[in-house]
Structure 1
Amino acid sequence: MENTTVVGIHKLELYIPDSYLTLNSLAEHHDIAPEKYILGIGQSKMAVPSPDEDVITLAANAAQSVLDSLTSQEAQSISTLIFATESSVDQSKSGAAYLMGLIDIQSNCRAFEIKQACYAGTAGLQMACDLAKTRPEESILLVASDIARYKQNSPGECTQGAGAIAMLISANPDIVEIDPERGFYSTDIMDFWRPNYFKHALVDGELSKDAYLNIMNKSYLNYIHKGGKSLAEFDWLCFHQPFTKMANKAYRHLKESFVDEMKDKTEASYAITQTYGREIGNTYTASLYIGLLSLLDNAEQDVSGQKIGFFSYGSGAVGEFFSGTINQNYRLGISTKHNKLRLSERHEINYDTYIDYMYQTRDVGQLEHIKSQSKFRFIGITDHKRVYQRCPMLKRKAA
């Protein structure tokens, strides 16, 4: 008998650092025209984590916001915690295990980390959907958290960013029902990678852009082969955005490759998904879902019942095309006023502070006097053990 359980995203929360650097400031210090960044890659700001923030603290803030929004019954239904990142802090212990010691989640829960570049968030989503479909009485907390960090003065520096997305995946979701059809394509290429002995990523930018577009087409064709919807049926398109201009390139590539299916599509079908990413920068595993949240938060009209086509890409490389339908209760699962307030209340830092935050190595004990406005802090390493601190809970301000 066919399993007809509807599964998808029930809650969706964002967390970003308090600080940002403008791309104007970066361009000035790189001695290039700001338009190369503002128009060329579509970025205006990059979120910059404080030295007492890392992917664990970013993830903990986003995850705790989801947990704070749940009823006790919903919280008790969480059977699995999945942590997706390509900025892992340990080669053995998962980020999910660290989260178990920080956030208010029950201990009767499996916890683990997954990795495949920026695709890992989608790998976690689809695994979570399969779990929820098989066991509809259970829900899964999925957290995607990353800090995009490149070598100073390298071409990739202008795409840096930081942030985390947390999602509760369940049966009968409030936000987005994820369709069962999925199209994939994987291959072995060296377009972006970070060896264990490097603190920053290495990238072949042109190869990566070409791979993204080619794998998008092949993933979509595989999705159609498996019974998926035509591009013509989607009200919205949501692309992975290593920089926001990449969504423009993806849209144009689909326009050229699938002329009949895309003939009625305009840039309005994806442009709103770029709003948050332009202000945050690259967040790797969280990027696609920040695009989704940007759409849900900023659409002027009610988008319930409308269909979204998603493309997820992870260098190395894996791509997946999938789809979903926005639920009529979607506003119950997101925190629109808080998200907009969070973005507007961040503070700008100067270039010297940015260099200090992103590139300065600190010894044990040097973090005690650095305090971000976070619920969770990384306070140093003792005996090769990372130490975190939970701060007094900060209440959200009313918008």
Structure 2
Amino acid sequence: MDLAELARHTGAEVNKYYVGLGQTAQTVPAPDEDIVTMAAAAARQIVARHGADGIRTILFATESGIDQSKSAAVYVQDLIGLSAATRAVELKQACYGGTAALQLAAGIVARDPQQRVLVIAADIAKYDLDSAGEATQGGAAVAMLVAANPALAVLDEPSGLYTANVQDFWRPNYRSTPMVDGKLSIGAYLEAVEQAWKDYEGRGGRGFAEFAGFCYHQPFTKMAYKAHTRLLELKGVEPTAARLYADLSRTAVYNRMIGNSYTASLYVALLSLLDHAEDLTGRPVAMFSYGSGAVAELFSLTPVPGYRDQLRTAGNRAAIAGREPISYENYRAVRDFALPDDGAELTVPAVTASPYRLTAVSGHSRIYGADR
């Protein structure tokens, strides 16, 4: 949905969204899509290219969980046809969960270099209708394969860490949308950037000038600009418009059109940078991961020789361009669609063009189908 459609409903000037938030559109998942179908669609590209041999672990990060007990990774393992000799686990810490999964995967591979770990970050960001957060909704899934000899980028040491008990964004079990204190959340994010950077420096991390790029979690793309301004000021660098554009614009291309995707957002930013930057071989990229509540981590990745041959730029652009534009009225109809919460049977209408879809709810269970 183009945010001009939302502006038409709210009466807001469209540049409140286009410029103020840095968002032009948001992804609205179809009724027969959820985090499992999106995750499986992302992961199957990895299996198709790299095979399934040696993948003995799936780590699925999300804050849009579909079950309080069973991991969404179990459904993905089945849909993409991985061996039964696989551990499948779901992780949660707001938008930080994808980075937690990545770091856990690195530990597994370090212990057993013969293993490969499939890391998935998938979320659907939904806020109360007619709330300030509605303009920042979205959804996406990113899949990553972690191996001892990576073809894309090396995960560097060290990391800078920060945790603070902040009630800026949370979703109790009885709610389908989160509670948000927007002003507090922005302040908590900026404090986390500064403190995680200081911890990173204290542990012997790279110098600020060594980084060829800076990727941030983007609940809305202007948040990355706020965070980078804080970091530049901390390092005594003037945060001019030209400097901010040079450092960040390539990381925001996809997120501007997708909206917030929680755990996937930081890695969508990385994809955007890799797809739009010049050759970054051997040049480290700073990564800042933030999850409300709050947990943050600052680390870096260094692209390896030949990484550009691994990029899926055309496919990424096609995935975004291939979405169907919808009106505000259609968006509301999608938002009004709800799965039963009382055990009722439901056949879900076929809408998505994704290779996987939610087909039904039966016996309190979600039923998935695949067009392989």
TM-score, with normalisation over the residues of structure 2? 0.95
1:153 aligns with 2:130: yes
Amino acid at match of 2:106: C
Q: Rate the CA distance shift 1:85–1:149 in 2: closer, same or farther, 3 A.
A: same
Moved more, 177-186 or 344-353: 344-353
Deviation digits for residues 62-119 of structure 1 (CA, Å, limit 9, x no counterpart) = 0111111114xxx211121000000000000001111122112122111100000000
Partner of 1:230: 207
Partner of 2:141: 164
Query: Which runs of 5 or more residues in structure 1 are unaligned?
Result: 1-20, 394-399
The whole-number CA distance in structure 1 between the counterparts of 2:59 and 2:305 is 27
Partner of 1:90: 67
The whole-number CA distance in structure 2 between the counterparts of 1:290 and 1:66 is 16
Q: Which secondary structure does the structure 1 equivalent of 2:146 belong to? A: strand
Q: How far has the Cα of 1:332 moved from its partner?
A: 3.2
1:34 aligns with 2:14: yes
Identical aligned residues as a percent:
42
Partner of 1:7: none
Q: Which secondary structure does the structure 2 equivalent of 1:69 belong to? A: helix
Q: How far has the Cα of 1:302 moved from its partner?
A: 1.7
Task: Give the number of equivalent residue pairs.
Answer: 368
Partner of 1:221: 198
Partner of 1:331: 308
Partner of 1:320: 297
The whole-number CA distance in structure 1 between the counterparts of 2:365 and 2:15 is 44
Q: How far has the Cα of 1:267 moved from its partner?
A: 2.8
Which residue of 255, 263, 271 maps to 1:277?
Answer: 255
Partner of 2:216: 239
1:288 aligns with 2:273: no
Amino acid at match of 1:268: A
Partner of 1:9: none
Partner of 2:121: 144
User: Is the CA contact (8 Å cut-off) linking 2:31 and 2:349 kept in structure 1?
Assistant: no
Query: Which runs of 5 or more residues in structure 2 are unaligned?
Result: none
1:55 aligns with 2:51: no
The whole-number CA distance in structure 1 between the counterparts of 2:21 and 2:244 is 20
Partner of 1:116: 93
Deviation digits for residues 305-353 of structure 1 (CA, Å, limit 9, x no counterpart) = 2110111000000010001211122123331111112222222011111
Q: Rate the CA distance shift 1:179–1:382 in 2: closer, same or farther, 3 A.
A: same
The whole-number CA distance in structure 1 between the counterparts of 2:339 and 2:198 is 48
Which structure is higher in strand share? 1
Q: Rate the CA distance shift 1:261–1:184 in 2: closer, same or farther, 3 A.
A: farther
Q: How far has the Cα of 1:227 moved from its partner?
A: 1.2
Q: How far has the Cα of 1:358 moved from its partner?
A: 2.1
Moved more, 104-113 or 236-245: 104-113
Q: Which secondary structure does the structure 2 equivalent of 1:268 belong to? A: helix
User: Is the CA contact (8 Å cut-off) linking 2:152 and 2:304 kept in structure 1?
Assistant: yes
User: Is the CA contact (8 Å cut-off) linking 1:251 and 1:267 kept in structure 2?
Assistant: no
User: Is the CA contact (8 Å cut-off) linking 1:179 and 1:324 kept in structure 2?
Assistant: yes
User: Is the CA contact (8 Å cut-off) linking 2:31 and 2:348 kept in structure 1?
Assistant: no
Cα root mean square deviation, aligned? 1.6
The whole-number CA distance in structure 1 between the counterparts of 2:117 and 2:238 is 35
Q: Which secondary structure does the structure 1 equivalent of 2:352 belong to? A: coil
